[in-house]
Amino acid sequence: MKTNQQNAIDAYNNACFETQRKSLHNLGDWHHQTPRTMMGDLVVEERDAANDNELPLGVDWAVFDWAVNSGPSRAAKALQRAVGSFEEGAIGPKTLEAVKASNRVDIIESMANEREAFYRSLSTFDTFGKGWLRRNQETMEQALQMG
């Protein structure tokens, strides 16, 4: 049986397109990392020693995938809206506290719905929308399976 970490790695490898791989070249040996280790830019430095402030499995994947696709700030703000936290564009202690108090399935579904609405608002949706919506659906399904 695979661990959650192995599932996260598999999900990442299956969902990552060549364009994202090229954009991640500066992370070094990225294919050995997980969404949790690659999300360092999204989570501010105030991590405590107990590591109890990390995002739950699945939520981390939803945030990470959107960050790769549309930028860390947009992904962080979507998470903050999903949990009713102040939208600042960086995931800090208050956001993490709000995530802990929220249902992970609700967070994942809220983010997927917002991501779809964002894609539909783009002028290039008619050209690229089908692929974007497929990726969004796959990401949501993978995220829900991780918890």
d(CA 134, CA 119): 11
Number of H helices, E strands in the chain: 8, 0
pLDDT (mean) for 20-25: 44
Q: What is the DSSP string of 72-116?
A: HHHHHHHHHHHHT----SSB-HHHHHHHHTS-HHHHHHHHHHHHH
- Computed over every residue of the chain, the mean pLDDT equals 76
Between 52 and 42, name the one with better pLDDT. 42
- Residue-wise pLDDT for 59-113, tens only, equals 988 998 888 888 888 999 999 999 999 988 888 888 999 999 999 999 999 999 9
Tell me, yes or no, if the pTM score tops 0.85: no
Report in angstroms the alpha-carbon separations of 57 from 92, 104, 119.
17, 8, 24
CATH architecture of 4-146: Up-down Bundle (1.20)
